[in-house]
Structures are given as C-alpha cells and as structure tokens.
Structure 1
C-alpha cells in the first residue's frame, strides 16, 4: 500500500512540510539555491517511488531525515571537490545536544507512550502523520475543539518530557 493515495495528497504533503524542510536544510547550508535543489531532489524521489513507498515513522520525521541525509551528501560531495576538505561539515552539525535520528525517534516514542490513549492518537495523527485538525476530528468523530484540547494537553506533557532535547527539535515536534 502506498503512502500517497494521489497527486492531491502528495501536493498537500509538500505544502505542509516544505517550509520546515527548507529551514532545516538552510540552517546547515545557508545557500538558497542549493537548498531548493535538495528539496526538489527529495520530492522527485518520493514521487518516483510513490507506488511502493510506505512511510511508517510519520511523514514529518521521514522528510526531515531525508533532508538530513541530503545535507550530509551535499557536504560529502563538496569535500570531494575541495583540496582542503578536512571537516567540511560545520561544527554545529555534530554538536552533542543534537540527537541522531534513531535516538530522537526513540525519545519521542517513549514520551508519546506516556500520553493518555486519546491524546496519544491525536498527537500521532497531527504531529507525526501530518493530519489537519479537521481531518483528525472527522476520522475520530469528535469536534475540532476536542482535537485542539487534546493537542494542547499532549503538547504540554511532551514539552515536559522532551525539554532536554535541542530547542530546534522541540520546536519541530512541539510547535
């Protein structure tokens, strides 16, 4: 089963996530045209593999991981073209407070499991799967206000549980 049912869904995923992806890549690279090329490559690859691609970790997590690896690939390619290629990746890329993706995902999963069942489901659908408040309300047969209340409750708990993570990561998940 494909993650992307149709081109409209794909376009919505793009619209919902491109800015976050752009900011993530731009903070490391600082070159608008390179970042735009990276995002284009990511979305072209996803579109080409749409029939077989199944994303189980949540679309935002998947896309940000794709950005991370494309940025690393960019710096690797840059290093190959320079004679002074020592430490081409910026120091901030390896700062101690930045978790590896797997560690980050585990931390988030542990915190999500601490949420009450309904709040957990709402949080997963909103922050990890990219559903809008109205979509969640419709799927769960609850009011949009109830979704907002559950998200607010979830985010308060998650902020407390994940306050030790880098601020940028907390903003990504808990914004």
Structure 2
C-alpha cells in the first residue's frame, strides 16, 4: 500500500477508476489535510468541515468511474469542496430564512391568534380522523358525540341494539384515542417552538 506514494495523480485516477482501494487511500492521505484547511477557512466549523470532506471523499469513491483520466485531481477536489461548501451555506441560509420568517410570524401574531389557530387546527385534524372511520361507526359516533343522543336513542333511530351502539362507540374511541393523542403531541410541539 505504501508503494502508491510514487504514483502521480493521473496514475492514481486510473487505479481509482478500476476500484483500487489503495489508490483511493493514497488520494485521501495526499489531499485530506489541504482540503480540510481549504474548507475550514470557509466554514469555520471543525464538525461541518469534517462531515463535508467525508461526504466529498465518499462521492469520489462512488463516482470514480465518471472521472476523466485527464482531470487534474487537486483542481477537481478543490472545486468539489468549494461547491459543497456553497451548497451547505445555501441550505443553511434557506433554513435560517425559514426559521426567521416563522419566528417573525409568531411574534407578530398575538397569542390569542395562535391559540385560535392551534384550536382550529386541532379540531380540523380530529374531524378528519372521524371522517376516516368506517361509515356506520362514524354515523353512530357522530350521533353520540355531536347530536348528544343516548345509546338507546341511537339504537331506536338506526333500528339496531343498544349493545351494538355501545360497541361501535367504544371501537370508535379505541381508534381515535391514539390518533388524537398524536395530534395533541404535535400541537404541543408547535407550542413549544414558540
């Protein structure tokens, strides 16, 4: 493996294109420190710089077959690193712009407005889950909870037994309860982000 140090970049590219791991290791050892220095100057973050280089060298290995043999390896790596840095900066900018706009909306919208939105969203989400119930179960559940009919009244109205009504309401609640809890967790999370 140590014998690869004698090869120039063009030869290493040829070996790399053939899937030679030792050639890849030599390229990595030859260029990692200079690439790290280059990337770190732009990002000023050790962790992000190391992650970016890991990704870049992994891509070099995976896309080795596509590299032109006449490519100047150092230029290829510098260009790849620079483009990845720009992409990372752009992604972070978009994320930060989004978070800033959400923060601005929350600060501009009164607490009362946010609570109404949360309550409205919660009601809509629960209603959506009710609509997903099987038709007969949904009808019985809505008569019980929205029309406030007793089990006996529902049974008479639909010409079914009290026991069937009771069982359908229990089943509906069993289906809806975990979904409503998940919705509440989501709303609580959004409230936490305020």
What interval of TM-score do these two structures reach, taking the shorter chain for normalisation? 0.3 to 0.5
TM norm structure 1: 0.45
Bigger RCO (CA 8 Å, 6+ sep): 1
Normalization by structure 2: what TM-score?
0.40
Higher alpha-carbon Rg = 2
